[in-house]
Structure 1
Amino acid sequence: MRLTAAVDAYAEHLARVRRLSPATVRAYRSDLRDLSAAVGDPDLGELDIEILRDWLWAATQHGAARTTLARRTATVRGFFAWAHDAGHIAVDPSLRLVTPKRGRTLPAVASAPVLADVLNAAREAAAADGDAIALRDAAALELLYGAALRVSELCGLDVDSVDPENATVRVVGKGSKERVVPYGRPAAQALDAYLVRGRPALVRDDSGRALLLGARGARLNTRSVYEMVRRMLGPALGTDAVGPHSLRHSAATHLLDGGADLRAVQEMLGHASLGTTQIYTHVSTERLAASYRLAHPRA
């Protein structure tokens, strides 16, 4: 089997058999297409570990981060394991491929006062003019921070995903896993205002049950959320390098700073591994160390 045909077959396997999300399948396909662009369209049996190492080395020469190299390594190992199990190759060339060690990168975190100013300003502006888009944006910001949602989870919400009586929202996270997440009073107020005055002005016949809608009535997409967060949060932080994850990172850090249990935060964020959640304890520790150096007379 040729490489390009195998990539298409593997993508279909990921979507239909393993039931991975469309975004995850696109990420796998993107990495494998990059491999194909580097080596052409050979028969799978012609690929060996040296070719794979050369491909990864070329990525390092172009400035790829260690996280990118680790992801690409995992991608090709999964791909060739599938090809071997399916009988497309006799030997898996990726078995001895070493995954580069991942460096831990501390997420960008906004302070609680800064976020309070941004979120309050968004809600006040929406309340003042009653614009449907402004009401939607205020609700989206409050949910991203108040419920620590991923942007894909936010955009995937339906009207019946929200339980106003219990102030919780049911989200579908990575691996199609569902979880129920609480949100606070400010998010409840912003969401109620949007549902009463915002969504009815945006809804169209083909809007379905999508909670957050775009200007033309379709389900709000992730690109629009990124642009909205950058526009509203960027000036407060003095950078354009912000996005929906900045609010999720900040929520997790503030929860731990406030004394929340690590496993409770893990459950709220929908992390499969506690180790993923623990990165936020490093953020808190860094802050503590910085405060200590500034304030302690024996620092």
Structure 2
Amino acid sequence: MRPGRLRTAAEDPPGRVPHPVLDRLELIRFLPVFRSITAHHGAMAYLLGINALCASEAAAVRIEDYTDVLRGHRVLHLVGKGNKPATMPLTVPVLRVLEACRGTRTTGPLILRSLSGEPVDRRDVYRMVQRIAKTAKVRRHISPHSLRHAAITNALDAGVPLRDAQILARHADPRTTEHYDRARGNLDRHGVHLFTAYVAGV
């Protein structure tokens, strides 16, 4: 493959199964079902499906990790792949769900197992996502990474610039984020339109 050229689906390694991606309507259905399960399921759904966390990152979130305010935003501090620290803002809908999950607790792991009250691990995250998918009537096999993938893909579909989507995903290389852009060949979205309007004073 030539340097700089993106891998196509046909060039993926044999046997690799792509993660199913929730479209916008499926994601909208997926997120609020915690009301019929638990707030802990809701917190998991929002951290994966809105903030694009990995399963291990979501399981590791502690209440103390999102108490800071930075430039007027409540923020979540986390440590991602390669032990790289990251800070991301929490939007109001996400914060509401996290606060419902927290309850009256002030410290400790945020998301707990329903029966034992013990912190969740990666296997618990997988089971929680499966239960939410069943409740949301999403018939396909959905994994925690499917939700992270959906967050990045739907952000790009919503018009979030590639650089900002890269920051959301915490990808080191923008070419990784480009793989998530289903409309990267859409000429209506080409940057020349916005730039022309800018220099023309329109």
TM-score over 0.5 for the pair: yes
Contact 1:150/1:248 (CA < 8 Å) preserved in 2?
yes
Q: What letter is aligned with 2:137?
A: A
Could you tell me how far 1:67 is from its partner in structure 2? 7.1
Could you tell me how far 1:213 is from its partner in structure 2? 2.0
Q: Which runs of 5+ in 2 are unaligned?
A: 1-11, 187-202
Could you tell me how far 1:159 is from its partner in structure 2? 1.5
> Aligned with 1:109: secondary structure?
coil
CA deviations on 1:259-278 (whole Å, 9 max, x unpaired) are 11111111221112111111
Contact 2:33/2:132 (CA < 8 Å) preserved in 1?
no
Contact 2:21/2:149 (CA < 8 Å) preserved in 1?
yes
What CA RMSD, in Å, does the superposition of the two structures yield over aligned residues?
Answer: 2.7
Residue matched to 1:92: none
Could you tell me how far 1:247 is from its partner in structure 2? 1.0
Give the distance between the partners of 2:26 and 2:164, measured in 1 at CA. Answer: 25
Confirm or deny that 1:152 pairs with 2:51.
Answer: no
Q: How many residues align?
A: 171
Contact 1:108/1:246 (CA < 8 Å) preserved in 2?
yes
Q: What letter is aligned with 1:284?
A: A
Confirm or deny that 1:223 pairs with 2:123.
Answer: yes
Q: How does 1:2-151 map to 2 (within 5 A)?
A: 66=13, 107-122=19-34, 124-125=35-36, 134-151=38-55
Q: What letter is aligned with 2:36?
A: A
Give the distance between the partners of 1:182 and 1:243, measured in 2 at CA. Answer: 24
Higher helix share: 1
Could you tell me how far 1:236 is from its partner in structure 2? 2.7
Indicate how the Cα distance of structure 1 residues 259 and 163 shifts in structure 2: closer, same or farther if over 3 A, else same.
farther
Residue matched to 2:199: none
Larger Rg: 1
Q: How does 1:227-238 map to 2 (within 5 A)?
A: 227-234=127-134, 236-238=137-139
Q: What letter is aligned with 2:60?
A: G
CA deviations on 1:69-107 (whole Å, 9 max, x unpaired) are xxxxxxxxxxxxxxxxxxxxxxxxxxxxxxxxxx8x764
Contact 1:151/1:244 (CA < 8 Å) preserved in 2?
yes
Residue matched to 2:164: 264
Identity of aligned residues (%): 28
Give the distance between the partners of 1:177 and 1:279, measured in 2 at CA. Answer: 22
- TM-score if structure 2 supplies the norm length? 0.74
> Aligned with 2:48: secondary structure?
helix
Give the distance between the partners of 1:226 and 1:268, measured in 2 at CA. Answer: 22
CA deviations on 1:19-63 (whole Å, 9 max, x unpaired) are xxxxxxxxxxxxxxxxxxxxxxxxxxxxxxxxxxxxxxxxxxxxx
CA deviations on 1:265-293 (whole Å, 9 max, x unpaired) are 11221112111111011x2358x6xxxxx
Higher relative contact order (CA 8 A, sep 6+): 2
Give the distance between the partners of 1:188 and 1:161, measured in 2 at CA. Answer: 12
